[in-house]
């Protein structure tokens, strides 16, 4: 009877050993993933990037806002170009929708501008102090 239990005990011990190994490897993988996440978070941090390059970020934000306004408003500055779009085309937007998109674009621009200037102001305040 002892001979039949020995292989069973050996198999159970091997199963427990494998489960422990799997648990250890799982913990190691989780620890590595956490470390990688923290390193990436630190390296790609937008606040850190803005602090490192405040003037470039402010200029890029301003330029992006200007391009966004121009894209949302369209080519309204050229009065000689008149486009006639029939109502049945899929590209037709009523003037109210265009005005709404323009308003949304302006609000986004103002928000980004305010955010950029706030970061720039904080950066300059820290440099002065």
Place of tokens 């955010």: 115
Query: Residue 1: what pLDDT?
Result: 42
In a 13 Å sphere around the CA of 104, the CA atoms on its Cβ side amount to 8
Low-confidence ranges of the chain (pLDDT < 70): 1-5, 75-98
Tens digit of each residue's pLDDT (9 = 90 or more) over 78-89: 555 555 555 555
Tokens of 1: 């009877």
């Amino acid at each position: 009877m002892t001979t039949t239990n020995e292989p069973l005990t050996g198999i159970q011990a091997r199963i427990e050993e494998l489960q422990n190994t799997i648990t250890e490897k799982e913990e190691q993988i989780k620890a590595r993933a956490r470390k990688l996440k923290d390193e990436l978070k630190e390296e790609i941090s937008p606040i850190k990037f803005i602090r490192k390059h405040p003037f470039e970020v402010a200029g890029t934000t301003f330029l992006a806002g200007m391009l966004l306004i121009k894209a949302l408003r369209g080519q309204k500055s050229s009065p000689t170009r008149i486009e006639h779009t029939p109502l049945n085309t899929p590209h037709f937007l009523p003037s109210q929708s265009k005005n709404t998109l323009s308003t949304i674009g302006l609000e986004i621009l103002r928000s980004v501008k305010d955010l950029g200037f706030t970061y720039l102001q904080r950066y300059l305040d820290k440099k002065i102090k």
